[in-house]
């Protein structure tokens, strides 16, 4: 899964380039930096690697989502349709710009069910934000068609699917805008960081300004910059960009290892009786950072998770249904509208209303799902050992449950 597993001299070299000049900021200080512009270089590499016209680095994936929303003009009174299975950052960003997250169900793709999205569209809907969870993509043809039909923005939260693609295009490069996270556990890391990608000039100009206090960046003197709109500080530092620059050059290596280990483990897990795998709208575009698999019932799945835990082999296997970060069932802070800053009462009411809806269709999927994270450092023997242990644990549980009925 993550690039941090293969930390190397290449990352050290890029960081040292910055340490040698001492210019840790991405803007200004032109004379003192000896031509070292790691953030600019990384943005150019992102455009080239992912096939997007523009890229704006920021300090995190969450900042990237917030900036993208501001850049796209999403704000108070707007509804953004997003899945109930995602990382909390997705709804945090929506709320932060004053908009309301409207949660739709996920289907066996573990991403937005287009039918549920269609039902959620109202006169207030401004954007659809699919989240390409666990390395693989949402049904972008169906969602793009809905956006076109209803004149909505498509914003891809591609934070978890770096290197995945859909029908030949890189995830994150397809919508009006897309975001990646480069936090420590993502497919490539900056330690902390994120990016907004877009083919739209206006989205880029807005993102560039918004993430640096509204500066227009037109001159060489920061003090003389104009501020066409109110911004914020979501800047990335040169140290972080240096790490990312080394990592993006190694991305093909990471993705190839991921694919190889994914394939080997999946072949073993396929022996589990009654197993099925996540549906992937474009199987050739899977980034392979996880294998997500389903067992026949929630009861069996729970028992298997308990068995893996008892055997000390649960690490790296995620049962999102019980996870506090990724599935709506446990987002009590959101359901209760618990924020530190007061929200407008109408906004708070809308947020709470949508967080407390019925998600039984998603429960039926998530209750039976386990996602196994793929490590880049596994040996063939480790994969065989890991796979065989999981298969044996599931078979044991199924025998026990069958003996009861
Ligand atoms: C990691 C992640 C984010 C947020 O990224 P940070 O860099 O950790 O702020 C947003 N959305 C999803 C789906 C993520 O997995």
**Helical pair 380-404 and 238-269, crossing angle rounded to 10 deg:** 50
Distance 159 CA to ligand 1 centre (A): 5
Residue 293 forms part of a structural domain: yes
Same domain, yes or no, for 123 and 263?
no
Position in ligand 1 atom list of the atom nearest CA 60: 7
Single out the residue of 17, 43, 299 nearest to residue 180, CA to CA: 43
Same domain, yes or no, for 188 and 274?
no
Residue 387 forms part of a structural domain: yes
Which amino acid residue places its CA nearest to atom 7 of ligand 1?
61
Distance 181 CA to ligand 1 centre (A): 5
CB neighbourhood size of 249 (10 A): 15
Which amino acid residue places its CA nearest to atom 3 of ligand 1?
61
Question: Which tens digit of pLDDT belongs to each residue from 306-350?
Answer: 999 999 999 999 999 998 889 999 999 999 999 999 999 999 999
Position in ligand 1 atom list of the atom nearest CA 160: 15
Same domain, yes or no, for 84 and 97?
yes
| Residue ranges making up the domain that contains 108 | 3-250
pLDDT, position 94: 98
pLDDT, position 220: 80
Same domain, yes or no, for 229 and 317?
no
Pocket test for ligand 1, best of 85, 86, 89 (most atoms within 8 A of CB): 89
Pocket around ligand 1: residues whose beta carbon is below 6 Å from it? 60-62, 86-87, 89-90, 131, 157, 159-160, 181, 183, 194
Residue 69 forms part of a structural domain: yes
Residue appearing with tokens 């390409």:
132
Same domain, yes or no, for 114 and 56?
yes
Same domain, yes or no, for 138 and 48?
yes
Pick the last residue of a domain from 231, 250, 269.
250
pLDDT, position 1: 59
Pick the last residue of a domain from 215, 250, 285.
250
Same domain, yes or no, for 116 and 212?
yes
Residue 243 forms part of a structural domain: yes
Same domain, yes or no, for 308 and 235?
no
Same domain, yes or no, for 175 and 213?
yes
Distance 136 CA to ligand 1 centre (A): 15
Same domain, yes or no, for 166 and 107?
yes
CATH number where 72 lies? 3.40.640.10
Q: What angle do CA 15, 18, 23 make, to 5 degrees?
A: 145
Distance 266 CA to ligand 1 centre (A): 26
| pLDDT < 50 stretches in the chain | none
CATH number where 267 lies? 3.90.1150.10
Same domain, yes or no, for 50 and 72?
yes
Residue 348 forms part of a structural domain: no
- In this prediction the pTM is 0.97
CB neighbourhood size of 75 (10 A): 12
pLDDT, position 109: 98
Distance 162 CA to ligand 1 centre (A): 12
Same domain, yes or no, for 135 and 280?
no
Residue 335 forms part of a structural domain: no
Pick the last residue of a domain from 230, 250, 270.
250
Residue 329 forms part of a structural domain: no
Position in ligand 1 atom list of the atom nearest CA 193: 7
pLDDT, position 403: 80
* Cα–Cα distance for residue pair 196/312, rounded to 1 Å: 39
How many separate domains does the chain show? 2
Residue 94 forms part of a structural domain: yes
Which residues are catalytic, by number?
186
């Amino acid at each position: 899964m993550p690039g941090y597993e293969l930390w190397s001299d290449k990352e050290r070299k890029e960081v040292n380039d910055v340490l040698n000049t001492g210019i840790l900021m991405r803007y200004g200080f032109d004379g003192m930096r000896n031509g070292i512009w790691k953030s600019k270089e990384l943005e150019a590499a992102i455009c080239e690697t992912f096939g997007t016209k523009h890229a704006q680095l920021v300090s995190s994936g969450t900042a990237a989502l917030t900036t993208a929303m501001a850049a796209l003009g999403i704000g108070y009174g707007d509804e953004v349709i997003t899945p109930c299975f995602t990382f909390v950052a997705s709804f945090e960003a929506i709320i932060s710009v004053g908009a309301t997250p409207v949660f739709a169900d996920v289907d066996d793709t573990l991403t937005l069910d287009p039918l549920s999205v269609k039902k959620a569209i109202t006169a207030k809907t401004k954007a659809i934000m699919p989240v390409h969870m666990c390395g693989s993509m949402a049904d972008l043809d169906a969602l793009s068609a809905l956006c076109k039909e209803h004149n909505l923005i498509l914003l891809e939260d591609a934070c978890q699917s770096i290197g995945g693609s859909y029908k030949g295009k890189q995830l994150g490069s397809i919508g009006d805008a897309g975001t990646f996270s480069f936090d420590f556990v993502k497919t490539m890391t900056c330690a902390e960081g994120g990016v907004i990608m877009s083919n739209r000039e206006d989205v880029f100009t807005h993102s560039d300004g918004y993430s640096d206090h509204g500066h227009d960046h037109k001159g060489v003197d920061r003090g003389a910059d104009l501020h066409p709109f109110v911004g914020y500080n979501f800047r990335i530092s040169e140290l972080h960009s240096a790490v990312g620059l080394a990592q993006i050059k190694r991305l093909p290596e990471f993705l190839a290892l991921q694919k190889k280990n994914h394939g080997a483990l999946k072949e073993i897990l396929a022996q589990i009786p009654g197993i099925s795998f996540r549906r992937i709208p474009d199987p050739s575009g899977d980034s392979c950072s996880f294998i997500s698999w389903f067992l026949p019932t929630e009861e069996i799945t729970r028992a298997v998770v308990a068995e893996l835990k008892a055997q000390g082999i649960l690490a790296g296997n995620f049962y999102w249904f019980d996870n506090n970060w990724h599935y709506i069932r446990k987002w009590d802070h959101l359901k209760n509208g618990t924020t530190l800053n007061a929200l407008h009462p109408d906004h708070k009411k809308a947020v709470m209303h949508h967080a407390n809806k019925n998600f039984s269709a998603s429960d039926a999927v998530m209750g039976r799902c386990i996602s196994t994270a793929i490590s880049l450092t596994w040996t063939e023997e480790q994969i065989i050992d890991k796979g065989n242990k999981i298969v044996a644990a599931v078979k044991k549980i199924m025998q026990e449950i069958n003996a009861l009925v």
